């Protein structure tokens, strides 16, 4: 049985946006839906009520399971095989490792915040 995934990201973050675009177009995952959290505030509020804050990292819904932040990136990257993008291939290889993902992910969250602040965009979605 194939799992269904929903990847939720911050569409104003240039890094998140590019990764989500690669996932949607180049990952060759047929069972993934990619959502911009800023355009789905009702869903974001319900996830925040459950303790999942998009400001602290992407959110991945896998059937009934919820993965957040580094776990979301690690989980989805483990599903990517033979993407049609060399950048996505590199990212998937780097983030398939739990240890590397947990080491690098906090830096990505900081980079997101800096990018949004430099663009004059609120880091918080709700």
DSSP 11: T
**pLDDT the model gives residue 41:** 95
Confidence band, pLDDT 50/70/90 cuts, at residue 4: very high
**Residue 58 domain flag:** yes
pLDDT in tens, 63-109: 999 999 999 999 999 999 989 999 999 999 999 999 999 999 999 99
Q: Which of 33-37, 51-55, 81-85 has the least mean pLDDT?
A: 81-85
Mark residue 120 as left, alpha or beta (left: phi above 0; alpha: psi -120 to 50; beta: remaining): left
**Residue 125 domain flag:** no
Q: Tally the domains of the chain.
A: 1
**Residue 86 domain flag:** yes
User: Taking 80 as the threshold, does the pLDDT of residue 10 lie above it?
Assistant: yes
| Domain range enclosing 109 | 5-119
Confidence band, pLDDT 50/70/90 cuts, at residue 113: very high
C-alpha to C-alpha distance for 60 and 57, rounded to whole angstroms = 10
What predicted TM-score, i.e. pTM, was given to this entire model?
0.93
C-alpha to C-alpha distance for 23 and 113, rounded to whole angstroms = 22
**Residue 25 domain flag:** yes
Nearest 10 degrees: Cα torsion 18, 121, 57, 75: -20
**Residue 62 domain flag:** yes
Confidence band, pLDDT 50/70/90 cuts, at residue 124: confident
C-alpha to C-alpha distance for 3 and 114, rounded to whole angstroms = 34
pLDDT in tens, 64-75: 999 999 999 999
């Amino acid at each position: 049985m194939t799992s269904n995934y929903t990847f939720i990201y911050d569409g104003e973050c240039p890094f998140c946006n590019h990764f989500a675009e690669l996932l949607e177009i180049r990952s060759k995952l047929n069972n993934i839906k990619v959502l911009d959290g800023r355009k789905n505030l009702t869903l974001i509020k319900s996830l925040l009520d459950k303790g999942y804050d998009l400001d602290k990292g992407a959110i991945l819904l896998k059937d009934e399971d919820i993965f957040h932040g580094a776990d979301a990136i690690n989980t989805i990257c483990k599903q990517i095989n033979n993407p049609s993008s060399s950048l996505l291939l590199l990212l998937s290889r780097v983030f398939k490792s739990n240890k590397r993902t947990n080491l690098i992910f906090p830096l990505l969250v900081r980079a997101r915040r800096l990018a949004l602040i430099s663009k004059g965009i609120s880091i918080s979605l709700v």
